Amino acid sequence: MFAIAYEAALGQGNTLTIKNAKVEHSQDGATWATYQAFTDPGVVDTGGNGGTAQRGVVRLGCDLKSAWRYVRFDWTPDLSAANTDTVSAIASVTLAGFDRLVPPTTAV
C-alpha cells in the first residue's frame, strides 16, 4: 500500500489534486521504468469557508510481486491556487505478507 499524507492550507473553494501517481522499479537503482501507473485520484481536498487547513491520506494499492529490486513512488501534487495555497506531503509504503508460504522442512 502506497500512501500520500498531506497537510494543505487551501483558500475557500481551492483544491488539491494528485496527478501522475506511479510506482517505478529498477534493477540497478539508477535506471528507472514505470512498474504501475495509477488512475489519477483527482481532487482529494477542497478548502472550506474562509480558507482552511486540510489534512488527509490518499492510499493506492499495488502488487509488487514481479517488481525489480529497487522500488520508488512518484506523484505530482497540484494546487488550483498555486500562488497562494501551500501543501506539505510525504509518501510512505506499507509492505506486508509473503509472496508464497514455504512449508517448513522436517528432519527424517
Please report the DSSP string for 37-98 in residue order: EPPP-EEEEE--TT-EEEEEEEEE----TT--SEEEEEEEEEETTTTT-EEEEEEEE---S-
Model confidence pLDDT, tens digit, residues 33-89: 999 999 999 999 999 999 999 999 999 999 998 999 999 999 999 999 989 999 999
Average pLDDT score over residue span 8-14: 96
Q: Per-residue pLDDT for 12 more than 90? A: yes
